[in-house]
Amino acid sequence: MAVCGADKGIKRVAIVDFDVHHGNGTEEVVRNLLPSKHKFESATPFGSFSLSSWNYKPWLTEKDHENVFFGSIHACGTVTEDMGAKYADGTPCAGPFYPGTGQDKTQVSVKDNILNIALGPKFGTAEFREAVESTLLPSLDRFKPDLIMVSAGFDASVHDRMNYGLVTLCDDDYFWVTDRLRSVAEKWSAGRLVSVLEGGYNVIGDALSPLARCV
């Protein structure tokens, strides 16, 4: 979409991900807008070897990394048994909050227009809204996007077991964050905001399900 919009005056694109899981795949795509060298090492019965390769996948020009912003607000950190975490089938859960990337609890990292807001493995409305207001929105204002793309994941809902029962956002939190992002789009992007459904897995009740209400 960024490529298609280039001839319509869309130069600066912001991608915001509020799925409960870190947007590690999108971050990797954005990181590859800058050349980076990766080294692979392996051992075999015949000896060890290493290979080096360059990752570089620009969208338009070598200046892409200056014109793309990625922000992910997500759960992150170590899940322990005393938190009462459970998988969807009811069995106890412990270990890193999937996928285990996106910085440690309470850390915020900004590099090359990449923002990770890790809220820990357990959070609710207050922590989420404070982080959006104090960190995410000011970062978007500084970037001044021409287009905002939203990876809208609803699995941080209190009714969705994909967050192990640890995250307790409600329907109104999703209305609120979408409205706050819309305000940024009105300010900088001529109202251009595209929201794409990502996570959200509780569809019991069809049109009245937690996913449907959040969307």
Whether residue 206 is predicted with pLDDT greater than 80 in this model: the reply is no
Highest-confidence segment of 57-61, 71-75, 100-104: 71-75
Q: Could you read off the pLDDT of 61-81 as tens digits, one per residue?
A: 888 888 999 999 999 999 998
Least confident range from 45-54, 87-96, 121-130, 144-153: namely: 45-54
Mean pLDDT of the chain: 85
Q: For residue 106, which of 85, 135, 84 has the smallest C-alpha distance? A: 135
Amino acid code (one letter) for 7: D
pLDDT band for position 46 (cuts 50, 70, 90): confident
pLDDT band for position 21 (cuts 50, 70, 90): very high
Helices (H) and strands (E) in the chain, counts: 5, 10
Rounded mean pLDDT, 3-20: 83
Q: What is the pLDDT of residue 107?
A: 47
pTM of the model: 0.85
**DSSP H or E stretch at residue 38:** strand 36-44
Identify the sign of the CA torsion 125, 89, 152, 18: positive
Rounded mean pLDDT, 93-110: 75
Within 10 angstroms of residue 149's Cβ, the number of other Cβ atoms is 22
